[in-house]
Amino acid sequence: MRQSQLFTKTRKEAPADEVAKNAQLLIRAGYIYKNMAGAYSFLPLGLRVIENINKIIREEMDAIGGQEVHMPSLQEPSLWQKTGRWSDEKVDIWFKSALKAGGEVGLGWTHEEPITDIMRQYVSSYKDLPLFIYQIQTKFRNETRAKSGIMRTREFLMKDLYSFSATEEQHNDFYEACALAYKKIFDRIGIGGKTYKTFASGGAFSKFSHEFQTLADAGEDTVFVNEEKGIAVNSEVLAEADLSELGVTKEEMTERKSIEVGNIFSLGTKFSEALGLYYKNDAGEQKPVIMGCYGIGPARAMGTVVDLLADEKGIVWPESVAPFKVHLVALNINDAEIRDYANGVYESLKDNGIETLYDDREASAGEKFADSDLIGIPYRVVVSKKTKAEGKFEVVTRASGAARYLGEEELYADFDNNPET
């Protein structure tokens, strides 16, 4: 993509009403636009990041047997009345609207009810189980106060997966498989080293569930963690947790702020019994299906990457989620010879399958380098009169600031053969 054709522009200052670091940087760099409190637009660069995160999530969910669907946001009351979750007294985050034809609908804030209803049509025998169904879909929650930038919004993307099992053994096997898949996801998007599977409240379903908490000063949550042993407990359940079973004492744990980037819950048979999702076992007995739910917020993961990895110059994207691999920065662009040369390099990078944002704007070197640092693409390749004369490109790694000097063939071979370089 040519940067001159990108309709977004960088900003020197963030909006005065935006206090979260992730949103400040993403707005300044042109990744998102704040439409209103709790609602953001993902602009071309931001959408590319979200799509890269979603791709990683899909790959790991598919690898453990997940099947992707897409359910509607509009929810009619009857299913939710059966589980008691339509009432505003029990669930106070609904967005609801009257229908012209009479009645009302709500915008889905989760999807246990509709997916359970769907599965009633397809599950009747133990031979149909287990099943693992997921979607990446927009959720709506009428939060009292939207905060923390793109971390807590009223409209957001969610990967929600639901497991359906005949036995506790099936359920537990998938629960652990999903936990491992989450670890792979967070490793791949660049925050795995600071993200812990954390003991948390199980709510109405079980004594404990698990959250995936990323240690970050900007976090809303508080956890107690032993980084050496890889053990973390949400502060809300610290008093209830049997730390001896985890092989750690409270004195060995440190209180830290954190960001919840994922969660996994055992749901038991609450929804299957309420909504009539049963199967017959091998003895012909009718049994309720055992369920679980497993969530990740792609935008929340994106914001966490920004909060955790950004430096004083701007965003620092891991290659796996960056909007482009290379930021080609052309200096002296008014010189026709340099412009033609830079255009040729851009076309060659594309021909070699290297995703490139090409800064072909008429701007000063200082402005271009500052924008490049703010946008945070992993590698900056500089084309100028000097580099052309020397037959070498300056290649700067955004994360470390280290510079290398490569010839043209070396450049293409390096990026083509070393995707993790």
Confidence at residue 144, expressed as pLDDT on a 0 to 100 scale: 86
Contact between residue 370 and residue 383 where contact means Cβ atoms under 8 Å apart: no
Assess whether pLDDT exceeds 90 at residue 223. Answer: yes
State pTM to two decimals.
0.95
Domain segments of the chain: what residues?
A: 11-309, 326-417
pLDDT: which is higher, 291 or 16 = 291
Assess whether pLDDT exceeds 90 at residue 224. Answer: yes
131's CB contacts (< 8 A; 6+ apart) are 67, 119, 123, 163, 164
| Residue 207: pLDDT band with limits 50, 70, 90 | low
Assess whether pLDDT exceeds 70 at residue 204. Answer: no
296's CB contacts (< 8 A; 6+ apart) are 57, 158, 159, 182, 185, 261, 262
Rounded Cα distance between 284 and 248, Å, is 46
Contact between residue 248 and residue 231 where contact means Cβ atoms under 8 Å apart: yes
- Mean pLDDT of the 29-33 span: 98
Contact between residue 92 and residue 82 where contact means Cβ atoms under 8 Å apart: no
- Mean pLDDT of the 379-384 span: 96
The region of weakest confidence among 107-121, 206-220, 272-286, 354-368 is: 206-220
pLDDT in tens, 50-95: 999 999 999 999 999 999 999 999 999 999 999 999 999 999 999 9
Report DSSP state, residue 251.
Answer: G
The CATH code belonging to domain 11-309 is 3.30.930.10
Assess whether pLDDT exceeds 50 at residue 420. Answer: no
Helical H segments across 151-261, by residue range = 168-188, 243-246
Assess whether pLDDT exceeds 90 at residue 285. Answer: yes
| Residue 130: pLDDT band with limits 50, 70, 90 | very high
pLDDT > 70: what percent of the chain? 97
CA distances from 333 to 342, 363, 389 (A): 8, 8, 15
Confidence at residue 154, expressed as pLDDT on a 0 to 100 scale: 96
The CATH homologous superfamily to which domain 326-417 belongs is: Anticodon-binding domain (3.40.50.800)
Confidence at residue 203, expressed as pLDDT on a 0 to 100 scale: 65
Which residue, among 228, 303, 286, 294, has the nearest Cα to 262 in the 3D structure? 294
Detail the DSSP E strand segments found in 84-203. Answer: 95-98, 104-107, 131-140, 155-165, 195-201
Number of residues assigned to the chain: 421
Report DSSP state, residue 252.
Answer: G
Q: What is the mean pLDDT of the chain?
A: 94
Rounded Cα distance between 180 and 167, Å, is 20
pLDDT in tens, 156-176: 999 999 999 999 999 999 999
383's CB contacts (< 8 A; 6+ apart) are 328, 329, 330, 331, 338, 341, 342, 345, 393
pLDDT in tens, 8-21: 999 999 888 898 99
Confidence at residue 323, expressed as pLDDT on a 0 to 100 scale: 98
